[in-house]
Chain A
Amino acid sequence: MADIAPPAYRTFPIIPELKPGAMEGKGPFVAPDKINEALGFPGHLVDDWHDKAIAKMGDLLSRYRSLKVYMDACVHCGACSDKCHYFIGTQDPKNMPVARQDLMRSVYRRYFTLPGKLFPKLVGARDLTKEVLDEWFNYYHQCSECRRCSVFCPYGIDTAEVTMAAREILDSVGYGQKYANEIIGKVHKIGNNLGLPGPALNDTLEGLEEDVKDATGVDVRFPIDVKGAEVLLITPSADFFAEPHIDSLIGYAKVFHATGTSWTLSSMSSEAGNFGLFIGNYDQLRTIAMRIRQAALELGVKRIVVGECGHAWRVAYSFWNTLTGVGDGADPNDRFAQMLQKQLDHRYKQPSHICEFTWDMIQDERLVFDKSKNDKYVVTFHDSCNVARGSNMGGYPGGQFDIPRNIVRAVANNFVEMDSSTTYERTFCCGGGGGLLTDDLMDVRVKGALPRMEMLQQVKDGHGVNFMACICAICKAQFTKVLPIYGFDRKVVGGVHQLVSNAIQLGVK
């Protein structure tokens, strides 16, 4: 990895020149048979892949209005063409959102539209050849499904939807990605992305209780599988052992402790992340999410709270109600959803983000902070793509931006925003989202981080920023790896609840 040099910072606001083919053959590892078969996909590329892929595409076009409309509606206006961090970092024209979509749109036109069948050259239609399929595998795994392009598209075309469809087609013909499919297999088998078994999890939590006791002198509990607890916390499994993730887990526990909230984790459902989203597969998305429903029903909890994880929050906020009934407002005859919704306490939003929980408690004056504990930091906030563009907090537009910032301001004295062209809904992906957080994609990850690193450098130089808070496990892991390559300390990245943990005063109220 040491041989991957970061691209030079750009002088603003330059849009890079095209370097065709720059990222050819830079795709991820192909999943081996065992990993694919564990998810019910063909083990390797099937003989009749061409017909199967076209049939799958037809199937998806009939089930997803998004795909159908997005295939037709693009006018090649190019508004998105300079918006993707992977394009900016790699200069490969096929990483322009419109060009990435066209890898599939060209095939759509050839097989599903009259002009494409009659005059393929004229409308940019082409046959689905093995080269095209390889191109899909390569470039649809250089998209983090961050939706930044969709913000600027006059028709709202979301490349993430196209990428997901492409990955689902690839999986259906036995051409899956190793990283994402392997992780999904672990969730099915063990209950979390890291494959951390129950006993190991218990040990970790006991160790954490001791650590916090040593540091604060207070008995902060990390309960697991407690029936009848009020809150079920579903958090990314990285929170259990990765740095800096674990510091945020400690933060959540302290908030629960300080507010006297009874809470629990679940050993069966110890993962907020849902890589079913990344591979665009509804069945996988649903099956993984069902573990949360099951845990909630078994433990009899009243509230479900989700930890700091970007795509998990998108799945939880936007999809859990659809997939599993975690939410409100199901039809009275909808027995599947009602069964769970009757159990949940609807004075609170279901599910809630941990930031919503903490901010509510701060507003109710149930928490006391010593902000000076964070005085060593000048903090900035990185909006994670899935939170920023695929979810909400607080129930009003823009709440997902205000609430984490409100918390940061409540627990730290020094807060600085990064350039407004790269925050809120215009935020840039960390470069590792969407199932790309794997070493075999290190090149594209480093290059994709460029726009965020440029702006971080700007506030570091201008304001001495030395802490970039975020609420996403993937952002944290990606930046920890990428920051040193750009000349920053890896500890510059951390969680919002890490700052909460630093400043919170236990045993005061």
Chain B
Amino acid sequence: MSTLLAIFIYLSTLVFVVGLLQRIRDYAGTPAPLKIPTTPAPVTNGGVALRMVREVVFFESLFKGNLWTWVSGWLFHFSMLLVVLRHLRYFTDPVWGWVAFIQPFGIYAGITMLAGLLGLLARRIFVERIRYISTPSDILMLVLLIGIAASGLLMKFVGHPDVIMVKNYFLGLMHLSVHELPSNFVLYAHLSMVFTLLFIFPMSKLLHAPGLFFSPSRNQADNPREKRHIAPWAAKMESEK
């Protein structure tokens, strides 16, 4: 069983890394022929960097768009960040100081992550407009994340698996050797769901993460009069005539 899971972990990590890199290369390689930043558009590259930081850290546009979605979404994403950082302790030996420091916060974050996800799910179910635009995969993805958060909390508060064994398992995987994982159903469920998420990442709407950085309406400086901007395929039109 430990071996089977190890194979899945390797596979999904491979799909995640290769798929994501390919997608990013794809985005980067596709030209943006016209200047289309959306107001409020910064006029310098420094301004663009600042705008990006505000979007990534505060979800600025979403804040303007819908307060409830913003509260749930922001809570979920930043709780998850903390939770993921907390999990670094399974991959490092000795555990880094700051990772040890955030351990208790990570536990609270697990709870707020679940709260944020339930908020997002509630919107999908109860708000008519959001229900209309939701596909089965939108719901399933939330269910998957809720499953991940819930199973994680379950292991923390109800049935503790042997974390030393878990850590050995992952340290082992990092050196291409498969150790025994505690036979705990919740643990297996948790890990399967996490790596399923990584598996579907590069072929789903989870691409919104890299997508934001390549969104021309957000990442362009508004300086079209000062600097000529032209795509290679468009420049060809000028040499042809």
A→B interface (CB under 8 Å): 15, 17-18, 61-66, 68-70, 72-83, 93, 96, 98-99, 102, 113-115, 121-124, 147, 150-158, 161, 282-283, 286, 317-319, 321-322, 325, 327-331, 334, 336-337, 349-351, 388-390, 392, 395-398, 400, 424-425
In the bound complex, do residue A66 and residue B132 qualify as a contact, i.e. CB atoms below 8 Å apart?
no
Across-interface contacts of A153 in B (CB, < 8 A): 61-62, 65
Chain B neighbourhood of A115, CB < 8 A: 137, 200, 203-204
Among B215, B230, B234, point to the contact of A155 (Cβ < 8 A). Answer: B215
If A72-B211, A78-B129 touch, whether A155 touches B225 (CB-CB below 8 Å) is no
Contact pick for B212, options A73, A82, A336, A397, CB 8 Å: A73
* Residue B33 CB within 8 A of the other chain: yes
Q: Name the 8 nearest CB pairs between A and B, nearest first.
A: A79-B65, A73-B211, A152-B65, A124-B135, A156-B217, A329-B227, A156-B218, A154-B62
Residues on B lying within 8 angstroms of A by beta carbon are 23, 26-27, 30-36, 38-43, 47, 55, 59, 61-62, 64-66, 69, 73, 123, 127-130, 132-138, 140, 200, 203-205, 207-208, 211-212, 214-218, 222, 224-231, 233-234, 237-238
B130 to chain A, nearest CB (A): 4
Closest residue on chain A to residue B223 by CB atoms: A329
Known: A66-B216, A319-B35. A328 touches B227 (CB 8 A): yes
Across-interface contacts of B65 in A (CB, < 8 A) = 79-80, 83, 151-154
Q: Which residues of B have CB within 8 Å of A388?
A: 39
The smallest beta-carbon distance between A353 and chain B, in angstroms, is 11
- Assuming the contacts A65-B27, A336-B238, asked whether A124 and B137 have C-beta atoms less than 8 A apart, the reply is yes
* 27 residue pairs from A and B, CB less than 8 Å apart: A63-B30, A63-B231, A66-B32, A73-B207, A74-B208, A75-B205, A93-B132, A102-B133, A122-B137, A122-B140, A123-B137, A152-B64, A155-B208, A155-B211, A156-B38, A156-B217, A319-B224, A321-B224, A327-B224, A328-B225, A330-B228, A331-B228, A350-B225, A351-B225, A392-B222, A397-B41, A397-B47
Contact between A79 and B39, CB atoms less than 8 A apart: no
Judge whether B228 and A321 touch: CB under 8 Å: yes
Expressed in whole angstroms, the minimum distance between the Cβ of A199 and any Cβ of chain B is 30
Contacts A73-B208, A325-B228 known; A65 to B64 CB distance under 8 Å?
Answer: no
Q: With contacts defined as CB atoms under 8 Å apart, how many contacts are there between chain A and chain B in the complex?
A: 227
Q: How far is the CB of A8 from chain B (nearest CB, A)?
A: 20
* Distance to closest chain B CB from A425 (angstroms): 4
- What's the least CB distance linking B9 to chain A, in Å? 21
Looking at chain B's contact residues, the main secondary structure is helix
B133 touches which one: A81, A122, A147, A390 (CB < 8 A)? A81
Q: Is the CB of A327 within 8 A of B41?
A: no
Q: Report yes or no: A397 in contact with B222, Cβ–Cβ below 8 A.
A: yes
Q: B217 and A82: CB pair below 8 A?
A: no
Give chain A residues whose Cβ lies under 8 Å from the Cβ of B66. Answer: 77-79, 152
Residues of B contacting A75 with CB < 8 Å?
A: 138, 205, 208
| Contact between A156 and B234, CB atoms less than 8 A apart | no
Partner of A322, one of B34, B55, B129: B34
Inter-chain contacts of B23 with A (CB < 8 A):
72
Complex Cα–Cα for A449 and B129 (A): 21
Known: A65-B30, A321-B225, A322-B228. 17 other contacts (CB 8 A): A64-B33, A65-B216, A72-B205, A73-B205, A79-B62, A81-B130, A115-B204, A124-B135, A153-B61, A155-B211, A156-B38, A158-B36, A318-B35, A327-B224, A388-B39, A390-B36, A396-B43
Residues of chain B lying within 8 A (CB to CB) of residue A334? 228
Which residues of chain B are within 8 angstroms of A65 by Cβ–Cβ distance?
A: 27, 30-32, 214, 216
Compute how far the CA of A334 lies from the CA of B35 in the bound complex, rounded to whole angstroms: 19
Least Cβ–Cβ distance between B15 and chain A, in angstroms: 11
* Given A113-B203, A153-B61, A390-B36, A123:B135 Cβ within 8 A: yes
Nearest CB in chain A: distance from B220 CB, A? 10
**Bound-state Cα–Cα, A389 to B39, Å:** 5
The interface residues of chain A lying within 8 Å CB-to-CB of B33 are 63-64, 282, 322
Closest A residue, CB atoms, query B233: A63
B234 CB to nearest chain A CB (Å): 7
Contact B36 A161 (CB under 8 A): yes
| CA distance in complex: A1, B203 (Å) | 48
Given contacts A121-B136, A397-B42, contact A318 B224 (CB under 8 A): yes
A407–B1 CA distance with the chains assembled, in angstroms: 75
A78 cross-chain contacts in B, Cβ below 8 A: 66, 69, 123, 127, 129-130, 133
Given A83-B65, A317-B224, residue A392 in contact with residue B41 (CB < 8 A): yes
Known: A63-B31, A69-B211, A69-B215. A158 touches B129 (CB 8 A): no
Residue of B nearest to A123 (CB): B137
Q: How far is the CA of A450 from the CA of B32 in the complex (A)?
A: 34
Determine the distance from Cα of A507 to Cα of B136 in the docked complex, in whole angstroms.
Answer: 71
B84 CB, min distance to chain A CBs, angstroms: 19
Question: Given the complex, which residues of A lie within 8 Å of B136, measured CB to CB?
Answer: 121-124
Question: Which of A74, A322, A325 has the most chain B CB within a 10 Å cutoff?
Answer: A322
Asked if residues B130 and A76 are in contact (CB atoms below 8 Å), the reply is: yes
Cβ of A329: which chain B residues have Cβ within 8 Å of it? 226-228
Cβ contacts under 8 Å, B134 to chain A:
76
B225 to chain A, nearest CB (A): 5
With a CB–CB cut-off of 8 A, which chain A residues contact B231? 63
Please pick, from B26, B127, B132, the residue contacting A68 in the complex, using a CB distance under 8 A.
B26
Which B residues are in CB contact (< 8 Å) with A96? 129, 132-133
**In the complex, chain B residues whose CB is within 8 Å of the CB of A77:** 62, 66, 69, 73
Indicate if the CB atoms of A318 and B36 lie closer than 8 Å: yes
Cα A395 to Cα B226 in complex, Å, equals 9
Chain B residue nearest to A79 (CB atoms) is: B65
Cα-based distance from A392 to B31 in the complex (angstroms): 23
CA distance A487 to B203 in the complex (A): 52
Given A65-B214, A72-B211, A124-B135, verify A327-B225 contact (CB < 8 Å): yes
| Residues in A whose Cβ lies below 8 Å from that of B32 | 64-66
Chain B residues whose C-beta falls within 8 Å of the C-beta of A397 in the assembled complex:
39-43, 47, 222
Q: A113-B203, A158-B36 are in contact. Are A76 and B138 (CB under 8 A)?
A: yes
In the bound assembly, the distance between CA atoms of A15 and B65 in angstroms comes to: 13
User: A82 touching B34 by the CB < 8 A rule?
Assistant: no
Q: Which residues of A contact B36 (CB under 8 A)?
A: 66, 158, 161, 318, 390
Given contacts A76-B138, A156-B215, A351-B225, contact A322 B203 (CB under 8 A): no
Residues of A within 8 Å of B230, CB to CB, are 322
